[in-house]
A and B are shown apart, each in its own frame.
Chain A
């Protein structure tokens, strides 16, 4: 499984890329392989705020709907509208074109609770 070194991770298989005081978020290669066939993505609303750990998006495969959780508290500033017409981008390019949303982080301290690549790899082992 591909676990890029430059990203942070959650135990619920979201990846996080730091972009200044914002973070870009998607689901990991492992998560997309588990789900397979992503057919629909319920995106969060831009401007909405979420608590850490709350359901922020839903990724649906043919078989099931899976909740995606906010890795830290923050406000959504951008969502990946491409996923509305092409949800399979999550399968084909989970760390690139398959990103889901950008969050303005409320408290940068919370990012310290996320896992480094090595620790996330350990979780998958």
Chain B
């Protein structure tokens, strides 16, 4: 299979200018780090950091019946979602496998803004389109649009996000509440601001026309300078999310995994009468999943655990890591893996094979990192 050339976000040149190290990720050329993963990670935990998320996809579903129909395509319940609020949810295939995990925002009564993973944009769009209901006239038609190329996006994350928000949009403006989304203006450009993130810190994700990306990026860095802001790459994004045990699509989630075994049943409403994957998930819930996504920490001195390292339980190989890294906050190796049921409980020991040698690790409760009170 031939791969199309990797895409660049509108901020590609800015990343190069800042010394960003570029790697391919989900079909995109993205910065993995600028200065160091540790420094960028710590900036987000203690101050504020900014990530280019322009590679992520934006799908817009609108028209009469949009909510009712989307509610049959996604696992979480849109019935209770007010205008101006978002929710984490899953797009499943017919076997209840995860096509994508995403955030859906209700931006108007019958208009929804879906923020999806970069590597899944085409697949999500194709899956949604193939289930699109027919309509007698174009006037009443439900529309599904892939607006990914028109949007740029930034994630601004860290305890100082409020100060930066005020510096950008004006002190009189109020930042949207958790999971809420609002429209703001910045130097004549309309910007969607959502109070969400993938780091475990307070933060916002903002979406704007791609043409304004460079202007906004520079302004964020400049206004954030006195707050100690750092541009942050995919490396820190991965360590931050893994400390929180947020799943990474393509690693911890895939069409071969369902949300129940991933421990994300909270974002699946089985009381909804009808959505794709429901019957399989009901059965899964009834019988109990055959495996579970567990989190662990290395015990004592050990090399950092990495994806695909093998796991042993009572001397028997039982699986491999889907995620693993050195946690900069804990300074310990951490990871996640699917283990056969009944899964080991927090405190129980497993072993990770690293370069032919087995190292002990301990099952932990999620999240692996808890913020200091």
CB of B355 within 8 A of CB of A62, answer: no
Contacting residues, chain A, for B239 (C-beta < 8 A): 62
- What 9 A-B pairs have minimum CB-CB distances, sorted nearest first? A62-B37, A36-B36, A39-B326, A37-B38, A37-B36, A40-B303, A62-B326, A63-B235, A60-B304
CB distance from A58 to the nearest CB of B (A): 7
CB distance from B326 to the nearest CB of A (A): 5
Interface residues of B in 227-257 (CB under 8 A from A): 235, 239
Q: Interface residues, chain A, CB within 8 Å of chain B? A: 36-37, 39-40, 42, 58, 60-63, 65, 84
Query: How many residues of B are in contact with the other chain, CB < 8 A?
Result: 17
Contacting residues, chain A, for B306 (C-beta < 8 A): 65
Contacting residues, chain A, for B328 (C-beta < 8 A): 62
CB of A40 within 8 A of CB of B326, answer: yes
CB distance from B175 to the nearest CB of A (A): 31
- Separation of A122 and B36 alpha carbons in the complex (Å): 26
- Separation of A63 and B328 alpha carbons in the complex (Å): 11
**Does B77 reach chain A (CB closer than 8 Å)?**
no
Contacting residues, chain A, for B301 (C-beta < 8 A): 84
**Does B72 reach chain A (CB closer than 8 Å)?**
no
CB of A63 within 8 A of CB of B303, answer: no
Q: Give which listed residue, B36, B302, B355, contacts A58 with CB less than 8 A.
A: B355
Contacting residues, chain B, for A37 (C-beta < 8 A): 36-38
**Does B33 reach chain A (CB closer than 8 Å)?**
yes
CB of B303 within 8 A of CB of A62, answer: no
**Does B325 reach chain A (CB closer than 8 Å)?**
yes
Contacting residues, chain A, for B32 (C-beta < 8 A): 63
- Separation of A60 and B355 alpha carbons in the complex (Å): 13
Contacting residues, chain A, for B33 (C-beta < 8 A): 36, 63
